[in-house]
């Protein structure tokens, strides 16, 4: 990772903070948050109860006239969302406050750290993976569809905020019944992901539709286990440019779901498991990364391994209306 820039989005906090003025410093492996204490008409905030994404402070202290919390910010970056641009990697997350009761979480600030993109950096998620197991041959496919999924898309131009219907499937042929999952997906300005590709991840962490947490994107009810459908709400990424959708498709035993093999999306503010909402606790890892992320190593299906393919559709173009 190269030199570090830092950008903090300031705004009014909720009532509990009474518009506390937070200062944020993004370093190579840490983020330091500081704020004033002891001011008139401003409540004092206990630094041990401040959270950056899912991270608790690595250290915290009350200093003369204020307080400070230091967070370790490397590897999975406290569950922050990442966008890769030509020259920078942009990580965004929320600063929150959890009171003693632990029953409520109060929003404090949006925090964005901008790091210089190192030469030769590529998304770690998308290393070339092509595996074939069992007998016979599986045929994977992914397509842009029309609004009701009754046929292929008739246009490749989408309005910002509109929906991009996408279908992915696997032809089971002589295999046992298969469940088709999307392990990871990104939008990119490049048809082939490489060191200079700009990317916008919208599915990650082994099947977590992270874009559904902040937009109206969602998986759709399955018509058959070997196909998965989704509506991706058109986003403000590379507006007016050609965009490609890259996904890692996984064929899996339809009777075996776990934290590493799943399809999760947001439903009324909570994670829901597409194929069995009663097991939605399998999605709890979607807000985390690293050792707490969705890294299940259970491999029971299809002779012990799933079958994966990388698929690309596009180009498509997202435009502002008018």
Task: Look at residue 135 and tell me whether its pLDDT is greater than 90.
Answer: no
Q: Which of 133-137, 147-151, 201-205 has the lowest mean pLDDT?
A: 133-137
Identify the burial level of 139 via C-beta atoms within 10 angstroms of its C-beta, where 0-12 means exposed, 13-18 middle and 19 or more buried.
exposed
Instruction: Supply the pLDDT for residue 256.
Output: 83
In a domain, residue 254? The reply is yes
Specify the number of domains making up the chain. 2
Same domain, 193 and 251: yes
110 and 159 part of one domain:
no
Instruction: For residue range 4-41, list pLDDT tens digits in order.
Output: 444 443 332 334 444 578 889 998 889 999 888 766 55
- Distance, CA of 184 to CA of 28 (rounded, Å): 26
Extended strands (E) in 234-320: 242-253, 264-267, 270-273, 307-319
Q: Is residue 54 part of a domain?
A: yes
- Taking 90 as the threshold, does the pLDDT of residue 294 lie above it? no
What pLDDT score was predicted for residue 291?
52
Q: Give me the pLDDT at residue 62, please.
A: 87
Residue 123 included in any domain: no
- Tokens matching residue 64: 């003369």
Same domain, yes or no: 66 and 185:
no
Tell me, what's the pLDDT at 303? Answer: 37
pLDDT at 13: 34
Percent of the chain exceeding pLDDT 90 equals 30
pLDDT at 128: 34
Does the structure show a pLDDT above 70 at 152?
Answer: yes
SS3 state at 48: helix
Q: Which pLDDT band holds residue 173 (cuts at 50, 70, 90)?
A: low
How far apart are the C-alpha atoms of 133 and 136, rounded to whole Å?
A: 9
Asked if residue 242 is part of any domain, the answer here is yes
Report the predicted TM-score, pTM, of the whole model to 2 decimal places: 0.65
Q: What is the pLDDT of residues 218-267, one digit of tens each?
A: 999 999 999 999 999 998 888 888 999 999 999 888 788 888 899 999 99
272 and 160 both lie in a single domain: yes
Residues 83, 155 within the same domain: no
The whole-number pLDDT of residue 103 equals: 58
**Mean pLDDT of the chain, nearest integer:** 79
Are 188 and 282 within one domain? Answer: yes
One domain, residues 156 and 239: yes
Of the listed ranges 120-124, 134-138, 255-259, the least confidently predicted one is 134-138
CATH of the domain at 9: 2.60.40.3210
CB-based contact 231:167 (threshold 8 Å): no
Judge whether residue 120 has pLDDT over 70: no
Residue 270 in tokens: 């909570």
**Ordered DSSP codes for 150-184:** SSB-S-SEEETTSEEEEEEEEE-TTSSPEEEEEEE
- DSSP lists the bridge partners of residue 6 as 113
Q: What is the mean pLDDT of residues 73-78?
A: 73
Q: What is the pLDDT of residues 57-66, one digit of tens each?
A: 999 888 778 8
Burial 32-48 (b: 16+ CB within 10 A, else e): bbbbebeeeeeeebbbe
In this structure, is residue 190 part of a structural domain? yes
The model's pLDDT over 179-213, given as tens digits with 9 standing for 90+, comes to 999 999 999 998 888 777 788 999 998 999 999 98
Q: What is the average pLDDT across 281-298? A: 72
Domain with 308 in it: what CATH number? 2.60.40.4100
Confidence of residue 53 (pLDDT cuts 50, 70, 90): confident
**Are 161 and 39 in a shared domain?**
no
Q: Are residues 110 and 58 in the same domain?
A: yes
Is the residue at 169 inside a domain?
yes
| 104 and 183 fall within a common domain | no
pLDDT in the model for residue 159? 92
- Does residue 286 fall inside a structural domain? yes
**Same domain (yes/no): 75, 162:** no
The per-residue pLDDT for 137 is 66
99 and 214 co-located in one domain = no
Within-domain flag for 28: yes
Domain extent for 43: 4-116
């Amino acid at each position: 990772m190269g030199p570090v820039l830092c950008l903090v989005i300031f705004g009014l906090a909720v009532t509990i903070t009474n518009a506390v003025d937070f200062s944020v410093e993004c370093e190579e492996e840490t983020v330091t948050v500081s704020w004033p204490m002891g001011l008139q008409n401003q409540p004092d905030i206990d630094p041990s109860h401040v959270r950056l994404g899912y991270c608790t402070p690595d250290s915290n202290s009350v200093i003369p006239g204020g307080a400070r919390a230091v967070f370790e910010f490397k590897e999975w970056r406290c569950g922050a969302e990442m966008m890769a641009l030509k020259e920078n990697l942009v990580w965004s997350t929320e600063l929150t406050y959890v009171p003693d009761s632990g029953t409520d979480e109060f929003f404090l600030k949006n925090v964005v750290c901008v790091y210089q993109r190192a030469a030769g950096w590529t998304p770690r998620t998308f290393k070339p993976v092509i595996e074939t197991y069992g007998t016979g041959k599986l045929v994977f496919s992914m397509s842009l569809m029309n609004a009701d999924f009754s046929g292929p898309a008739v246009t490749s131009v989408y309005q910002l905020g509109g929906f991009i219907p996408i279908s992915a499937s696997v032809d089971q042929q002589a295999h046992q019944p298969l469940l088709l999952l999307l392990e990871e997906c990104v939008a990119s300005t490049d048809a082939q992901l490489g060191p200079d590709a700009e990317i916008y991840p919208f599915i990650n962490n082994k099947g977590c539709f992270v874009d559904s947490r902040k937009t109206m994107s969602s998986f759709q009810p399955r018509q058959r286990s070997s196909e998965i459908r989704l509506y991706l709400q058109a986003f403000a990424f590379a507006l007016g440019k050609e965009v490609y959708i890259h996904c890692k498709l996984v064929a899996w035993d339809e009777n075996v779901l776990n934290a590493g093999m799943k399809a999760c999306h947001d439903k009324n503010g909570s994670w829901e498991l597409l194929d069995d909402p009663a097991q939605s606790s399998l999605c709890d890892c979607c807000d985390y990364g690293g050792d707490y992320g969705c890294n299940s190593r259970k491999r029971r299906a299809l002779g012990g391994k799933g079958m994966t393919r990388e698929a690309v559709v596009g180009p498509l173009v997202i435009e502002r209306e008018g």
